[in-house]
Structure 1
Amino acid sequence: MTQVLGGTRGLDTAGNLGHYRARDGSPGATVRIDLDNPHVGLIVGKRGYGKSYTLGVLVEELADAEGVTPVVVDPIGVFTTFEGVSGFEVVSDPRVSADTLSPRAWCDLLGLDHESATGSLVWRAVSETSTLAEMRDFVSEADANPATCRSARNHLALAASWDVFSSNGLTAAACVEPESGILLDCSGCDHAPMNAVVRAVAGDLYRARVAESIDTLPWLVVDEAHAFFGGIADAALRTIITRGRHPGVSLVAATQRPAALPEVAISQSDLLVAHRLTSRRDRDALARARPTYMQGSFTDRMPETPGSAVIVDDATERVHSVQIRKRQVEHGGGSPSANELRKG
């Protein structure tokens, strides 16, 4: 009998993850995941054991489902193989509108105390303009201490050098317009501009659903999530985690370093997919933040082989041993081999 994880009883809006894995390794019944309701998901595992592969399986299922749209953040370029898949759009070097970020977000992005003279001037510039060029003109012409104006100009010049801000940057509507979903390829971005893109996109998706200005339910899928929690994207991601269920915004975060995530990202996830973890610090982080019903069975059933996973389903308060199915779209997350290069 097919099992649906996540709380739904129907199969029409459920994606195929794989099948149950018996203790002797033999396959069991099909395991599917609910895509009808909003979720907070977490996929963890050490390098080489299937974390990004499983994320790709989920994206494939989301791309085929009706009424939901995956918005995938790819910081290292492993999902660009989705380019050319029917209806799926890959955006290289994504750009966002400067006014999508709040004044506080701009101060955070530039490392400024909003109560300092420079931070206060940047705050005013963001509040009274709509593009980065206008913000730079504003501070140049401001009636303020010359040293303050110069400092603000320098900070905004740095932001301009990142080349991620555009007057016609991505909006929530643009992110969910592609038929099967969109991939934001951030592999060419440094840490700060990459965080700026995620902060802007995550915040805009949430606001758009609150205002009901988009008629699909977005799933924000973030690989290497530890690069964004703790950065300026943190606030927007936490908003989806704690308040996204009501407007219908889902978040799925994947990381090989769960200990680097805030506790709320673990404790609020209603679906946890765990591949092999060997770091005690990472295993302890999961154990501390997860409910009591999973403690013993989780550590006892930690998978040992690539592609196998333990899934904690908070809806049924059960722990499942699963073998993830094969990808339909080629996986781009493998590492090159010196021997293969020599033979080639």
Structure 2
Amino acid sequence: MDVLGREDGADGVSGRFGRYLAADRSLGARVGVDFSGPHAGVVVGKRGSGKSYTLGVLAEGLAETPGVAPVVVDPMGAFAGLEAAGVPVVEPRVRAAALPPRAWCELLDLDPASPAGTLVWRAATEGESLDEMRAWVADADAADAARRAAANHLALADSWGCFAPDAPTPRDLLADGAVVDGTALETPALRAVVAAVADGLYRAALDGSKRLPWLLVDEAHACASGAAAAAVDTLYTRGRAPGASVVLATQRPSALPETAVSQSDLVVAHRLTSARDVDALSAARPTYLSGSVSARLPSRTGDALVVDDATETVCTVRVRERRTEHGGGSRVVERSETTG
């Protein structure tokens, strides 16, 4: 079996990914993905093209591989079936102290230099929990208007329901991996969760965690930007040395941070029709990818163009079927017996 992300002749663990797809649509040899070392990747494709399904295939392989742990941020409920592979679904809870002061200002859309922004920044420095941050603001020696504004913003964050002092630690998430169920969260709360989890997994890798972390984020154009961008960018630019991996899946590659595509050693591209998104993918085209990117993108659901920077090769793959249930389908109108 050929292994994507691994130089020829190298040893290591891998997960089954699919089979090569020839120009006449015949299936070739089996293809795997290297899990023995850290990787940075993106999975892109328009809605319904199979990108979330592909992310689930990667998560299944990681769940079956000793020494690694997938942590999946699931905004759409597509990955609950991974429980059958031993990956528990957990509530989207993070500690307030897991976010740095600047991320708090970005999260609440506050200018750090404004009176309210300054108070929130100081509160994030002084308080370990959201309750402690709110108490610090209430007692702060500041103008009433600034304290009210800061208090109102922190009350908004509290209403999202994602901050808890007893939230799982990175060690907890890495024990068996985790599917972080973000289906009930608003976009700012999702960004807070991604920021805290990404930073926590990076620090766990720095501390020598027994299992190498893999952060997988679906709908990344929405929840890996803004307040989450800096923490995700760290995984792409500095995660390799400590052994932390990251894969973002999105229908809008043009909305991803520039480093997400430029620093990826594995790009999996399903069907794309937006010229802006095709251009974003083409802008990072390696020299060994000959011809037009748009001309090489697949047109059928489940087929993918894979750019493997480790071996500097490009191939088309038919992604294998998932062994666990995929929850990424769209709901349709049910036809009743009385409908004509």
TM bracket (short chain): over 0.9
2:90 maps to which residue?
91
Structure 2 letter corresponding to 1:193: A
Deviation, 1:68, is 0.5
CA-to-aligned-CA distance 1:84-105 (integer Å, 9 cap, x gap):
x14210013x111111111111
Q: Does the Cα contact within 8 Å between 2:195 and 2:232 map onto a contact in 1? A: yes
Separation in 2, partners of 1:335, 1:20: 28
1:253 maps to which residue?
248
Separation in 1, partners of 2:101, 2:303: 44
Q: Does the Cα contact within 8 Å between 1:4 and 1:11 map onto a contact in 2? A: no
> Is the partner of 1:293 in helix, strand or coil?
coil
Could you say if the C-alpha distance between residues 341 and 66 of structure 1 is closer, same or farther in structure 2, counting changes exceeding 3 Å?
A: farther
Separation in 1, partners of 2:157, 2:30: 48
2:219 maps to which residue?
224
CA-to-aligned-CA distance 1:159-189 (integer Å, 9 cap, x gap):
11111111111221111012xx210010100
Structure 2: which 5+ residue stretches go unaligned?
none
Separation in 2, partners of 1:107, 1:282: 29
TM-score, length basis structure 2: 0.95
Structure 2 letter corresponding to 1:224: E
> Is the partner of 2:289 in helix, strand or coil?
helix
> Is the partner of 2:304 in helix, strand or coil?
strand
2:210 maps to which residue?
215
> Is the partner of 1:337 in helix, strand or coil?
coil
Moved more, 29-38 or 275-284: 275-284
Deviation, 1:292, is 2.0
Structure 1: which 5+ residue stretches go unaligned?
none
Deviation, 1:297, is 6.2
Aligned runs of 1:1-344 on 2, under 5 Å? 2-8=1-7, 9=9, 12-83=12-83, 85-92=84-91, 94-178=92-176, 181-212=177-208, 214-296=209-291, 298-338=293-333, 340-342=334-336
Separation in 2, partners of 1:88, 1:275: 26
Q: Does the Cα contact within 8 Å between 1:298 and 1:310 map onto a contact in 2? A: no
Q: Stretches of 4+ moved more than 3 A in 1?
A: 8-12, 297-300, 340-344
Deviation, 1:153, is 1.0
Structure 2 letter corresponding to 1:191: T
> Is the partner of 2:291 in helix, strand or coil?
helix
How many residues are treated as equivalent by the alignment?
337
Deviation, 1:280, is 1.5
Q: Does the Cα contact within 8 Å between 1:266 and 1:290 map onto a contact in 2? A: no
Taking only the aligned residue pairs, the percentage that are identical comes to: 53
Deviation, 1:301, is 2.4
Separation in 1, partners of 2:248, 2:187: 17
TM-score, length basis structure 1: 0.94
Separation in 1, partners of 2:100, 2:185: 21
Deviation, 1:230, is 3.0
Separation in 2, partners of 1:279, 1:155: 36
Moved more, 114-123 or 153-162: 114-123
Separation in 2, partners of 1:239, 1:88: 25
CA-to-aligned-CA distance 1:100-127 (integer Å, 9 cap, x gap):
1111111111111222221111222121
Separation in 2, partners of 1:300, 1:3: 25
> Is the partner of 2:33 in helix, strand or coil?
strand
Could you say if the C-alpha distance between residues 330 and 65 of structure 1 is closer, same or farther in structure 2, counting changes exceeding 3 Å?
A: same
CA-to-aligned-CA distance 1:188-239 (integer Å, 9 cap, x gap):
0001111101101111111121122x21100000011101243211110011
Could you say if the C-alpha distance between residues 295 and 288 of structure 1 is closer, same or farther in structure 2, counting changes exceeding 3 Å?
A: farther
Q: Does the Cα contact within 8 Å between 1:287 and 1:295 map onto a contact in 2? A: no
Q: What is the Cα-based RMSD across aligned positions, in Å?
A: 1.6
Separation in 1, partners of 2:269, 2:248: 12
Separation in 1, partners of 2:192, 2:63: 25
Separation in 2, partners of 1:207, 1:233: 15
Separation in 2, partners of 1:103, 1:241: 22
